[in-house]
Amino acid sequence: LQQLLQKTPIYLVGMMGSGKSTIGQSLATKLSYSFLDTDQVIEQVEQRKITEIFEQDGEEKFRDMESSVLHRIQPCLGCVVSTGGGIVLRSSNWTVLRSGIVVFLDVSVSTIMKRLLNDTSRPLLQGAEPQKRLEQIRNTRLPLYTKADIHIRLNDSYMEEQLTLEQWIDW
Ligand code: S3P
């Protein structure tokens, strides 16, 4: 697989809490790739948490930063890139995503709810009725996420198991 990939970047897309960072890190190790997380890069560059950026500058500004990071790390040869859940929203981001292999990690809203129950780092989930909000976000974004080259449906328990790449990827 490593030979086949020839350092082609792999972009992981999907909802918050879908395991992009966890899976991305394991995948990078398996492939001897580097691992990058766009949210982490933004926080390092800005020296602020994502929640603070949303509060102080608003979502659109955050989306600008996200796009800018994605474009700047290009060409990320030999990288597994975990992207923020909203990266698929801007069509200009797709020109970068299309330079690599895009993998959609798909988990159910109920799984995301379980994982993010006490998580305050996702500004889009703060406030009333987070489940409804998640469902709305997922429904709006599903046509975008499914533009990915590879669609992987994950169940609740993948994190506890030691899965192989072949098991993750449902070609
Ligand atoms: C967002 C997902 C977050 C982060 C920000 C917005 C989204 O990233 O970029 O809170 O719009 O879905 P993760 O998908 O890594 O949680």
Confidence grade of residue 166 (pLDDT, cut at 50, 70, 90): low
The pLDDT of residue 167 is 57
| Ligand 1 pocket, residue 86 CB under 6 Å | yes
Q: How far is the CA of 4 from the centre of ligand 1 (A)?
A: 31
Rg for the chain (alpha carbons), in Å?
Answer: 15
Residues 155, 171: Cα–Cα separation, whole Å: 16
Residues 83, 40: Cα–Cα separation, whole Å: 10
The pLDDT of residue 171 is 38
The pLDDT of residue 154 is 83
Reported as a single tens digit per residue, the pLDDT across 94-120 is 999 999 999 999 999 999 998 888 888
List phi, psi (to 5°) of 36: -135, 145
Q: Is 49 exposed, middle or buried (0-12, 13-18, 19+ CB in 10 A)?
A: middle
List phi, psi (to 5°) of 121: -90, 0
The pLDDT of residue 170 is 41
User: How far, in Å, are 30, 49, 85, 100 from residue 88 at the CA level?
Assistant: 26, 21, 7, 14
Report the mean per-residue pLDDT for the chain: 89
User: Looking at domain 2-168, does it have CATH number 3.40.50.300?
Assistant: yes
Reported as a single tens digit per residue, the pLDDT across 61-85 is 999 999 999 999 998 999 999 999 9
Compare 168 and 28 and report the one with higher pLDDT.
28
Compare 67 and 157 and report the one with higher pLDDT.
67
Compare 159 and 144 and report the one with higher pLDDT.
144
Residue 102 belongs to what H/E stretch? Answer: strand 101-106
The residue whose CA has the least distance to atom 16 of ligand 1 is 16
Reported as a single tens digit per residue, the pLDDT across 15-63 is 999 999 999 998 999 889 999 999 999 999 999 999 999 999 999 999 9
Q: Give the amino acid at 107.
A: V
The pLDDT of residue 144 is 98
Beta-sheet strand order (sheet of 79-82):
34-37, 79-82, 10-13, 101-106, 150-153
| Ligand 1 pocket, residue 141 CB under 6 Å | no
The pLDDT of residue 103 is 95
| Ligand 1 pocket, residue 100 CB under 6 Å | no
Q: What ipTM does this complex have?
A: 0.98
- What residue segments make up the domains of the chain, in order of their start? 2-168
User: How far, in Å, are 92, 132, 145 from residue 24 at the CA level?
Assistant: 23, 27, 17
SS3 assignment, position 3: helix
pLDDT at 160 over 50: no
| Ligand 1 pocket, residue 138 CB under 6 Å | no
